[in-house]
């Protein structure tokens, strides 16, 4: 029987790639995000190419009420989630702290920290009741290092690392695995969002080297969720070969 995975932020990038790979590896999927058309297209593609069953939930994870209402709309069968992938997240803006935009800060904190908590609060009691489950939090190299003008984004991902540890400590006695995966530069819509639609600034981020692709992170997640019951991969830091740390990338002219 297929296991059930709920993936937040499945409409693009890492979440979408994870959905496509898990669907080919015996998972039924709950795919979430704000862009309903993208989620519907992904559902149609997966269902036409695999035997995976897919349902979609459209909501803004920053909104506690919307998140609860969407989750409660699931049938009891769909609520039996084996794997929760807390992936929805973003960086917005790159300014020094004294010039930063408070609205940008709130978007990051509300999505990357509070949204992750809202959905975890809904899913984790069901895992506790069943005595099994696996939560994977998508962190970042920004959760391990702080870089110039990364201030609030880095803080939000450091919080994700701390929450991963906190969740693991609280849930260990219930047989629930908690992991984090922390990627360096992955070419997705991430930089277009960070630079507020400026495609050329976004393209520059990935110039002159081979970044990670969303599929690389999806493969890592698949490895993590297919270990035997007694094995938990606590934390994975995964970087492009050309990136030695957050702000040292070897670029060819």
Cβ count near 65 (within 10 Å): 9
Measured between alpha carbons, how far is 143 from 155 in angstroms, rounded to an integer? 7
Measured between alpha carbons, how far is 18 from 141 in angstroms, rounded to an integer? 19
The active-site residue, picked from 118, 147, 153, 206, is: 153
Residue 12 binds which of ligand 8X3, ligand NDP, none (CB < 5-8 A, kind-dependent): ligand NDP
Residue 240 binds which of ligand NDP, ligand 8X3, none (CB < 5-8 A, kind-dependent): none
Contacts with ligand 8X3, residue ranges (CB under 6 A): 140-142, 150, 184-185, 246
Nearest to 27 by CA among 15, 19, 35: 19
The answer to whether 183 touches 222, Cβ cutoff 8 Å, is no
Q: Which is nearer to ligand 8X3, 187 or 219 (CB)?
A: 187
For the CB of residue 99, give the shortest distance to ligand NDP in the complex, in Å.
Answer: 22
Residue 87 binds which of ligand 8X3, ligand NDP, none (CB < 5-8 A, kind-dependent): ligand NDP
Q: Which is nearer to ligand 8X3, 46 or 181 (CB)?
A: 181
What's 71's DSSP letter? H
Q: Which is nearer to ligand NDP, 52 or 249 (CB)?
A: 249
The answer to whether 21 touches 218, Cβ cutoff 8 Å, is yes
The CA-based dihedral angle spanning residues 189, 190, 192, 194, taken in that order and rounded to the nearest 10 degrees: 160
Q: Which is nearer to ligand NDP, 133 or 143 (CB)?
A: 143
How would you label 180-190 residue by residue, b for 16+ Cβ within 10 Å and e otherwise? bbbbbbbbbeb
Residue 246 binds which of ligand 8X3, ligand NDP, none (CB < 5-8 A, kind-dependent): ligand 8X3
Q: Is 153 a catalytic residue?
A: yes
Contacts with ligand NDP, residue ranges (CB under 6 A): 9-15, 33-35, 60-62, 87-90, 111, 138, 140, 183, 185-186, 188-190, 193, 214
Q: Which is nearer to ligand 8X3, 52 or 112 (CB)?
A: 112
For the CB of residue 203, give the shortest distance to ligand 8X3 in the complex, in Å.
Answer: 14
Residue by residue, DSSP assigns 39-52 as HHHHHHHHHHHSS-
Residue 93 binds which of ligand NDP, ligand 8X3, none (CB < 5-8 A, kind-dependent): none
For the CB of residue 186, give the shortest distance to ligand 8X3 in the complex, in Å.
Answer: 7
Residue least distant from ligand 8X3 (Cβ): 140
The answer to whether 115 touches 62, Cβ cutoff 8 Å, is yes
Residue by residue, DSSP assigns 111-172 as IIIIIHHHHHHHHHHHHHHHT-EEEEEE--GGGT---TT-HHHHHHHHHHHHHHHHHHHHHG
Active-site residues, by number, are 153
């Amino acid at each position: 029987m297929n296991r059930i995975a709920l993936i937040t932020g499945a409409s693009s990038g890492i979440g979408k790639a994870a959905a496509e790979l898990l669907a080919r590896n015996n998972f039924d999927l709950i795919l979430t995000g704000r862009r309903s058309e993208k989620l519907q297209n992904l559902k149609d593609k997966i269902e036409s190419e695999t035997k995976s069953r897919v349902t979609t939930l459209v909501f803004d994870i920053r909104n506690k009420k919307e998140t609860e209402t969407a989750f409660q709309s699931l049938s009891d069968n769909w609520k039996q989630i084996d794997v929760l992938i807390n992936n929805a997240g973003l960086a917005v803006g790159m300014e020094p702290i004294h010039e930063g935009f408070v609205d940008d800060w709130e978007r990051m904190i509300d999505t990357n920290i509070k949204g992750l908590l809202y959905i975890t609060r809904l899913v984790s009691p069901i895992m506790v009741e069943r005595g099994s489950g696996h939560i994977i939090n998508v962190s970042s190299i920004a959760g391990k290092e702080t870089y110039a003008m990364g201030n609030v984004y880095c803080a939000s991902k450091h919080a994700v690392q701390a929450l991963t540890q906190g969740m693991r400590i609280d849930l260990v006695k219930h047989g629930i695995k908690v992991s984090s995966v922390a990627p360096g530069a992955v070419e997705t819509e991430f930089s277009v969002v960070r630079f507020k639609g400026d495609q050329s600034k976004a393209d520059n981020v990935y110039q002159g080297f081979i970044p990670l692709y969303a599929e690389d992170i999806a493969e890592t997640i698949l490895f993590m969720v297919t270990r035997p019951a007694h094995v938990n991969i606590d934390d994975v830091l995964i970087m492009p070969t050309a990136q030695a740390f957050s702000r040292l990338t070897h670029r060819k002219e």
